[in-house]
Amino acid sequence: MRNILVHGPQKDKKSFAARLKEIRLAPSSKLARQRAEQLSEQYGKWFPRAIELLEDGLEDSLAFYAFPELDIRKISSTNMLERLNKEIRRRTNVVGIFPNSNFYLRLVTAYLMEYADDWSVSRAYLNPISVQTLLKHAA
């Protein structure tokens, strides 16, 4: 969405962003595609680069609709990954300069193992029953 907004209308940025958000919040993939098509028709002549980016990434950004049993709000966002990357940067910045790449790799791996252990034991970002059901259907 950020990449599209950079190439979108500056004077109508709020309304354009709201229309993009409507695509992501659509209750079905069919409705999301319809909204994307309407947006393309409305803004295609004036902002071809923004609409090109929208059309190129539309299928990838709507992939979460294939998982109806999971909480769509949680899997349609990259917030969790962004938070993880921010935490890795914070921890590596404390060290400053690493003697070689193995030390960096060791620090990041240790943190990721700790992170995975915390999520598997204490917190359930996604409902484990839903994940197991999806895994059974995929197999």
Give 67-107 pLDDT, tens digit per residue: 665 666 666 667 778 888 999 999 888 888 888 889 999 99
Query: How many domains is the chain partitioned into structurally?
Result: 2
Co-location of 10 and 56 in the same domain: yes
13 has pLDDT over 90: no
Co-location of 79 and 113 in the same domain: yes
Tokens of 100: 């070689």
Taking CA atoms, 60 is separated from 10, 26, 54, 112, 131, in Å, by: 26, 15, 10, 26, 20
CA–CA separation, 36 vs 16, rounded Å?
12
CA–CA separation, 23 vs 16, rounded Å?
11
Mean pLDDT for the stretch of residues 49-78 = 75
CA–CA separation, 28 vs 24, rounded Å?
9
48 has pLDDT over 70: yes
pLDDT of residue 31: 92
Co-location of 81 and 62 in the same domain: no
Helical axes 48-61 vs 13-24, angle rounded to 10°: 20
60 has pLDDT over 70: yes
pLDDT bracket for residue 125 (50, 70, 90) = low
Identify the domain containing residue 107 by its residue range: 73-138
Contact 80, 73 (CB under 8 A): no
Co-location of 114 and 87 in the same domain: yes
pLDDT of residue 139: 60
pLDDT of residue 136: 73
19 has pLDDT over 80: yes
Co-location of 78 and 51 in the same domain: no
Co-location of 59 and 82 in the same domain: no
Domain boundary among 66, 85, 116: 66
pLDDT bracket for residue 130 (50, 70, 90) = low
pLDDT of residue 68: 60
Tokens of 128: 């484990």
Q: Percent of the chain, pLDDT > 70?
A: 80
